[in-house]
Amino acid sequence: MIDIIPAIDIIGGKCVRLSKGDYGQQKIYAEKPLDVAKMFEDAGCKRLHLVDLDGAKSNHIVNHLVLEDIAGKTNLIIDFGGGIKSNEDIKIAFDSGASMITGGSIAVNNAEIFSEWIVKYGSDKIILGADTRNGKISTSGWLKDSKIKIIPFIKYYTEKGITQVISTDINVDGMLSGPSLELYQSILQEMPNIYIIASGGVSCMVDIENLQKAHVPAVIVGKAIYENRISLKEIERFNLNN
Q: Which of 54, 69, 79, 131 is catalytic?
A: 131
Expressed in angstroms, the distance from the first to the final Cα of the chain is 6
All residues at 6 or more sequence positions from 122 whose CB lies less than 8 Å from its CB, including other chains: none
Q: Which of 9, 52, 79, 207 is catalytic?
A: 9
Q: How far is CA 32 from the centre of its chain?
A: 20
Please confirm, yes or no, whether 95 is among the known catalytic residues. no
For residues 187 and 179, give the distance between their C-alpha atoms in angstroms, rounded to a whole number.
14
Region of 13 on the Ramachandran plot (φ > 0 left; ψ -120 to 50 alpha; else beta): left
Please confirm, yes or no, whether 131 is among the known catalytic residues. yes
For residues 48 and 51, give the distance between their C-alpha atoms in angstroms, rounded to a whole number.
10
Asked if residues 196 and 187 have their Cβ atoms less than 8 Å apart, the reply is: yes
Count H helices, E strands: the chain?
11, 13
Catalytic (active-site) positions: 9, 131
